[in-house]
Amino acid sequence: MTSIEVRVNIDDLVSLPGAGTTAATVYLPEQFTSPQGVILAFPGGGGLRQSWDLHVEGLSGYSAAEYYVGRGFVFVAIDHAGVGDSTPLPDLEAVTYTSLAEADAATVEGVLARLREGIAPGVAPMPEVKTVGMGHSMGGLLVTAMQANHRCFDAIAVLGWSNVHNRVPPMAEDGRQDWWLRWGDEPEAAWATRVNRPPAVIPLKGADMLSPGLVAREAALVDVPVFAGLGERDVTFWPNLEPTAYRSARDITLAVIPRMTHSHNTANTREELWSRVADWATAALVRPPSSGITTVYFPGGS
Helix (H, G, I), strand (E, B) or coil at 33: coil
Superfamily for the 2-284 domain: Alpha/Beta hydrolase fold, catalytic domain (3.40.50.1820)
> Is 129:14 a contact under the CB 8 Å cutoff?
no
CB 249, CB 221: distance < 8 Å? no
Residue 157, Cβ density class (10 Å: 0-12 exposed, 13-18 middle, ≥19 buried): buried
What is the residue extent of each domain of the chain?
2-284
pTM, to two decimals: 0.93
**pLDDT tens string 201-259:** 888 876 677 788 889 999 999 999 999 999 999 998 889 999 999 999 989 999 999 99
Contacts of 75 (CB under 8 A, 6+ apart): 26, 27, 38, 39, 41, 52, 64, 65, 68, 69
- Find all residues with CB under 8 Å of 280, minimum gap 6, and list them: 157, 225, 227, 253
Write out pLDDT tens, residues 7-49.
999 999 999 999 999 999 999 988 877 788 999 999 999 899 9
